Amino acid sequence: MERVLRSFLVSVHFLFFASLILLPADLPAQGRTLTGTVIDGATGQRVPFAQVSIPGTGFGTVAGEDGVFRLDGVPDEPFTLQVQHLGYRTRETVVPPTEDNVEIVLAFDYLQADEIVVTGRATTVERRNAAISVATLNAAEIQRVPAQTIEQAIQGKIAGADIQANSGAPGGGIQVDLRGVSSIIGASEPLYVVDGVIVSNIAIPNNQIVVTEANVGSNTSPLQADQVNRIADLNPNDIERIEILKGAAASTIYGSKASNGVILITTKSGRPGPSRVDLTQRFGVFDLSGKLDYRTFEGEPVEEVVRVFGEAAREPFLQGRFFDHEQELAGRNDLSTETILSLSGGDENTTFYASGLIRNDEGVVLNTGYEKQSLRLNLKQLLGDRWEIGVNTNVVHSEAQRGLFNNDNFLITPYFALPFLPRFYDLEQRPDGTFPPPFPGGASPSNPLQTFELMQNEEDVWRFLGAADLTVDLWRNNAQTLQLISNGGLDWFRQKNDLLFPPELFFEPADGLPGTSLLTEGDNLNLNGSVNLVHEYSPGAYRARTSGGFQYEERELEISRIVSQDLTAGQPSVGSGTSLQVSERKERVEDFGFYVQEELLLLDERLTLTGAVRGEQSSSNGDTEKLFWYPKANIAYRFPEPAQGIDEIKVRLAYGESGNQPLFGQKFISLDATRNIAGEPGLVINPQIGDPAIEPERTREIEGGIDAALFDGNARLDLTAYQQNITNLLLERQLAPSSGGDTQFFNGGELRVRGFEAAFAVTPVKTEDFIWLSRATVFMDRGEILDLPVPSFTFAGFGTSLGAFGIQEGEPPTQIVGFVGGELTNIGDINPDLKMGFVNEIIWKGVNVYTLWEWQRGGDIINLTKFISDLAQTTEDFVPAGQQRLAQFGTGDASVYIEDGSFVKLRELTVGYDLPAKWIETWWPSARRVRVSVSGRDLLTFTDYSGLDPEVSNFGNQQIGRNIDTSPYPPSRSFWFSIDLGF
């Protein structure tokens, strides 16, 4: 690696000094001076800080806060002046030789047709010229409705992004799949990059399986603890922009970490001018939106009750009192709050943005909730006219109380316990503080109300993110620029999970070790550094941009766990147990990569050509010195005004390759040092053996599309079709007993994914006082295993009697298989047939009404929560439907508990009002903006699924293995009232 690094640095220095020799010297200013003013066409107000340039030359400036700009030395002959500003359509106008002062009127870009999108590690391009499909969201789209996490804020808004909550628990736990399944046992999450720094999104389980015994039985996975993926730590209100590179054709430049897509997050920054203060105060409540409503037995014979629950049920049933245990457990509507304060501003040399957040979300379940505090400071400093330095820092603290949910072999999590507790049996706390014991003779050893009152499941996270970037104009003249762009940063967090199950819990003495205290501490550090050279040549007839650079990345993770049981005198600390177990895991990965990229805009910027290649090494690979190459090439051509009503059509074609690194440890033959041989310490080989020649999975993608601007900029249509071929899959194969192990990781096989995406945006009505915006996205994808070098196998799930995931050549990797009539067959598929998002926004004077609906068709779910309640004979429809299900299951039919997960959800709703400026000037002269709004999230759900929510995943973030319903945290809807003030 060092040898490659040295040779690359020598090459970069050579190219740099060659550029200094070959480039012409700066040309002295000549010609005339042009001044002008930038105006908002809708309001007539001046637009501050617009970018003003002459395409194909080095002339450019930024308008001041008053919208006025000045350009010295412009040509004496006619030239094209280009004016750009975020949120407005790009305006180009020809300035004649006789004109020395111009007024440029900008139209608001409601459809974002002229925005800038990322094309490389240090380069961007106008969307109209992009040859790849890039989805973008701005701050307004992200912050329509209060959201706990970034993923929640973008749910339903991106074509090709299947975003699904794993449960309703406060604080996150959401998975993002871009363009379908890209791996079977490899990493499945997108790569997250915040302000140029690659950040961690790992999820560390809290170890509650020690109590629930969820990994005892047919599925030994430890990922059954409803864990939070750490991108949830970021504050959505700090985000200026999100760009999503959905496939390898766009994400090649990130190499072996980009097969699952890349999500680029840019946080807010200050602008020159007077300081601005923005304050938002929100008040809200969460309300239970899904219940199972167990069988009450009202009106049924007492003999039936005794048959189901035993003789102990006779007396309480005859008392005629019935209780809603679900409502008692999950019926909280406590006040939630969010306070956001930001300060921004600066002058022409220094700009700043500072923000603070205090959020408190009260969970619907007893003693659950989520709190977050965040502080951010972003600075930019100009040093002379060539140097710019930026520093972004963010400190986040969060605390989550998530209760005890998900799979459970001990029948103590709520939806495993409640089916075995009669609705006529009182579980509520007595006046003396005690709780009724579990129902006598019942299968569950717990009283869920006592469990949630006395237990503790706290997750405490401190996180620091820091990024610094340096941009140096090494050379600039009328036709060329050469920039050095360097970026570095770190992402550090410490996660502490503190769980306590005191001895007085009814189920605790069952194992003979009453009282359990669990402590998990995770410490993660990501370090990033990159240096890039960007040379742009714009002689007027075309534009050429050459970029190259290298990156170094390092990741360290340490997880330590303490399990303490049989707590002395009920003391909560892990040191008070008589039975202690300690474990620790350490990971460290280093990556080094470099790239070169060429971008050409030809034929009056109608033709776009891009080519790039990235080389990469990683300590995750078996051969740490081997270079893996990831190329890309794409082309696009724009046809201006090809027909009436069509402003422009662009056709594009792109090809790219990216990878998916082996998981840490998949190359090692690891040893277990916890065993003994004849009473003496000894080492044994772990049953999962690594492959010393392991390599990244490789994704090759070809993408084609058509983008159209219609009806004088009032509509936009984007169509994309793609095919991904993923080879070198990470798999496991069985070993001979003589090898000392059970299975071994290796590379082999091929998976293909085909998909289609469409996005349509239109302004059906646009007048001076009334605007109606409408957007729709729709996508679908289909996967197929083309080659499988091992025998077909099942994966995840709880066995083929209930439904598991069948990995089989010629079939989709997301298929559910199970025995029906003694034959193993396909009984479902977790992959949706299609997903659609539909946004409508109406702006009438100061009133704004916004809605987001999401529709999913298909996507099967294994409903094991219903299976448990059927076994308890307490499902609401048990007579006769549940009896029929159990009878069918008894014949060996695994399809009984497979259900369609189709749904329609009202994801977001906001009704807001901006007070007129003249009112504010009269009543509150120091304020510049006052807005009040009411909003809600997940307000309505229409589905035939009989579980709590069709969005569910017992096993957390996995592309394969999701959609298994086993006692999740119940879903909720949220309602918010907000006041926004600007000064």
Q: What is the DSSP string of 670-720?
A: -EEEEEEETTEEEEEE-SEE--TT---EEEEEEEEEEEEEETTTTEEEEEE
Give the pLDDT of residue 58: 59
Residue 452's identity, in one-letter code, is F
Instruction: Give how far the C-alpha of residue 712 lies from the chain's centroid of Cα atoms, to the nearest Å.
Output: 35
* 3-state secondary structure labels for all residues of 872-917: CCCCCCHHHHHHHHHHHHHCCCHHHHEEECCEEEEEEEEEEEECCH
Supply 571's token pair.
Answer: 């003391």
Is residue 880 reached through a cis peptide bond, with omega within 30 degrees of 0 on the bond before it? Answer: yes
Closest CA to 655 of 255, 252, 264: 252
Give the pLDDT of residue 387: 93
Strands (E), 97-173: 101-106, 116-118, 124-126, 134-138, 161-165
- Match 């009539």 to its residue by tokens: 821
- Match 């449960």 to its residue by tokens: 167
Residues in the chain: 983
> What are the φ/ψ torsions at residue 437 (nearest 5 degrees)?
-70, 170
* DSSP H or E segment with residue 140: helix 139-142
Task: Please tell me the distance from the alpha carbon of residue 790 to that of residue 806, in angstroms, as a whole number.
Answer: 13
DSSP codes, 355-406: EEEEEEEE-SSTT-EEEEEEEEEEEEEEETTTEEEEEEEEEEEEEEE--S-S
Is 971 strand, coil or helix? coil
Give the pLDDT of residue 479: 82
Task: Please tell me the distance from the alpha carbon of residue 100 to that of residue 334, in angstroms, as a whole number.
Answer: 63
Task: Please tell me the distance from the alpha carbon of residue 621 to that of residue 618, in angstroms, as a whole number.
Answer: 6
* DSSP H or E segment with residue 608: strand 607-618
Asked if 126 and 745 count as a contact pair (C-beta separation under 8 A), the reply is no
- Quote the longest CA-to-CA distance of the chain: 102
Rounded (10°) CA dihedral 503, 508, 510, 513: -60
Q: Which residues of 678-688 are buried (b: 16+ CB within 10 A; e: fewer)?
A: eeeeeeeeeeb
User: How buried is residue 849: exposed, middle or buried, by Cβ count under 10 Å (0-12/13-18/19+)?
Assistant: middle
Task: Please tell me the distance from the alpha carbon of residue 467 to that of residue 451, in angstroms, as a whole number.
Answer: 43
Q: How far is CA 145 from CA 152, 269, 605, 904, 905, in A?
A: 10, 22, 39, 18, 15
- Spatial neighbors of 697 by CB under 8 A, at least 6 apart, are 182, 183, 186, 259, 659, 660, 726, 727, 728, 729, 730, 747
Binning the chain into helix, strand and coil, the percentages to the nearest 5 are 15, 50, 35
Task: Please tell me the distance from the alpha carbon of residue 592 to that of residue 789, in angstroms, as a whole number.
Answer: 31
Closest CA to 442 of 420, 422, 425, 424: 420
Give the pLDDT of residue 952: 92
Task: Quickly count: other Cβ atoms within 10 Å of residue 161's Cβ.
Answer: 25
Closest CA to 731 of 718, 742, 743: 743
Task: Please tell me the distance from the alpha carbon of residue 464 to that of residue 475, in angstroms, as a whole number.
Answer: 35
Q: Does the predicted TM-score (pTM) go above 0.95?
A: no
Task: Quickly count: other Cβ atoms within 10 Å of residue 737's Cβ.
Answer: 8
Supply 274's token pair.
Answer: 């007077």
Asked if 34 and 100 count as a contact pair (C-beta separation under 8 A), the reply is yes
Task: Please tell me the distance from the alpha carbon of residue 955 to that of residue 861, in angstroms, as a whole number.
Answer: 13
Task: Please tell me the distance from the alpha carbon of residue 775 to that of residue 780, in angstroms, as a whole number.
Answer: 17
- Match 């997250």 to its residue by tokens: 192
- Spatial neighbors of 917 by CB under 8 A, at least 6 apart, are none
Asked if 101 and 69 count as a contact pair (C-beta separation under 8 A), the reply is no
Closest CA to 190 of 255, 258, 122, 238: 258
Q: Which residues of the chain are under the pLDDT cut of 50?
A: 1-29
Closest CA to 397 of 360, 362, 371, 368: 371
Give the pLDDT of residue 56: 62
Give the pLDDT of residue 64: 80
The angle formed by the CA atoms of residues 33, 38 and 39, to the nearest 5 degrees, is: 150
Instruction: Give how far the C-alpha of residue 780 lies from the chain's centroid of Cα atoms, to the nearest Å.
Output: 19
Give the pLDDT of residue 220: 65
Q: What is the DSSP letter of 42?
A: T
Task: Please tell me the distance from the alpha carbon of residue 194 to that of residue 679, in angstroms, as a whole number.
Answer: 52
Supply 150's token pair.
Answer: 């970034």
> How many alpha carbons lie under 13 Å from residue 431 in its C-beta half-sphere?
0
- Terminal-residue alpha carbon distance, the chain: 53
Task: Please tell me the distance from the alpha carbon of residue 615 to that of residue 595, in angstroms, as a whole number.
Answer: 6
Q: What is the DSSP letter of 752?
A: E
Give the pLDDT of residue 4: 40
Is 288 strand, coil or helix? strand
Task: Please tell me the distance from the alpha carbon of residue 401 to that of residue 871, in angstroms, as a whole number.
Answer: 30
Is 61 strand, coil or helix? strand
Task: Please tell me the distance from the alpha carbon of residue 501 to that of residue 515, in angstroms, as a whole number.
Answer: 6
Instruction: Give how far the C-alpha of residue 604 lies from the chain's centroid of Cα atoms, to the nearest Å.
Output: 38
Q: What is the DSSP letter of 28?
A: P
Q: How far is CA 777 from CA 651, 716, 757, in A?
A: 19, 12, 7
Is 253 strand, coil or helix? helix
Beta bridge partners of 263: 192, 244
